[in-house]
Amino acid sequence: MSVSTRRLRHIEEMKETILDAAGTLFYKNGYEETTLRKIATLIDYNPATIYNYYKNKEDIFFALQERAFQSFYEEFDFYRTTKMKGKKSLRKMGKAYIRYGIDHKEDYELMFIMREPMNRAKAIDPKWKIGAKNYELLKLVLAQCIEEKSVRITDVNVGAFMIWSAVHGMVSLYIMDRMKMINDTKHDKLLELAFQQFDELLNRI
């Protein structure tokens, strides 16, 4: 192994070590509580060392976001090859989306809610492509539904955004604790029924 490739590998390993530690702390204590000093302590390095591998804190969370998108992508890759009918596929996708958001709420927050690691993202953003890829998948499944005439939608683009909005709305109100505003306390059940209701709404009689 040449020295320069070993060096590159070392850098990759370090970046990953740092990212793992950052993730551990983030999933346990949230963004604000995850300080560079705590990350450094966890991996037995000096805080300054981290700056040899990441430009700054935001950059770390940018990488964490990327990782989240990756895992998110893998979750839905299944629907790319399924032989299910479009409508059934769409329903399952929606359910899976909500489940994923609830079970990985920090990741979900990172990907679809937080302002934090977004500032840099205004520039060229290779990673939104993963998000875009999943969005294309939704459009694909929806297009199949339209073709099947199993759905009350005519425009794929408009329909896809509407569907995304609906499920994103449910997930985000849930995980950001805004369902408090609703008197009914059985939030999980309400969420499930609301999705069912929405799904039925899509049905063509």
Partner DNA sequence: CAAAAATCTAAACAATGTTTATTATATAAA
Partner DNA sequence: TTTATATAATAAACATTGTTTAGATTTTTG
Give contact residues for DNA (rule: CB under 7 A).
3-4, 6-7, 10-11, 14, 34-38, 44-49, 51-52, 56-58
Residues that bind a second copy (CB under 8 A): 30, 109, 112-113, 115, 118, 121, 125, 128, 131-132, 135, 152-153, 155, 157-159, 161-162, 164-170, 172-173, 176-184, 190-191, 193-198, 200-202
Continuous H helices in 115-186:
128-148, 156-175
User: Shortest Cβ distance from residue 193 to DNA (Å)?
Assistant: 40
- Whether residue 33 contacts residue 81, with contact meaning beta carbons closer than 8 Å, is answered with no
Helix (H, G, I), strand (E, B) or coil at 56: coil
CA 111 – CA 113 distance, rounded (Å)? 6
CB of 78 or CB of 128, closer to a second copy: 128
Q: Which entry of DNA, a second copy, none binds 102, CB below 5 to 8 A by partner kind?
A: none
3-state secondary structure of 151: strand
Q: Residue 1 has which token pair?
A: 């192994």
Q: What angle do CA 96, 102, 106 make, to 5 degrees?
A: 120
Binding partner of residue 37 among a second copy, DNA, none, CB under 5 to 8 Å per kind? Answer: DNA
Q: To the nearest whole angstrom, how small is the minimum distance from the Cβ of residue 66 to DNA?
A: 17
Task: Rank residues 15 and 120 by Cβ distance to a second copy and give the closer one.
Answer: 120
Q: In the complex, what is the shortest distance from the CB of residue 166 to a second copy, in angstroms, rounded to a whole number? A: 5
131 binds, among DNA, a second copy, none (CB under 5 to 8 A by kind): a second copy
DSSP assignments along 6-43, one per residue: HHHHHHHHHHHHHHHHHHHHHHHH-TTT--HHHHHHHT
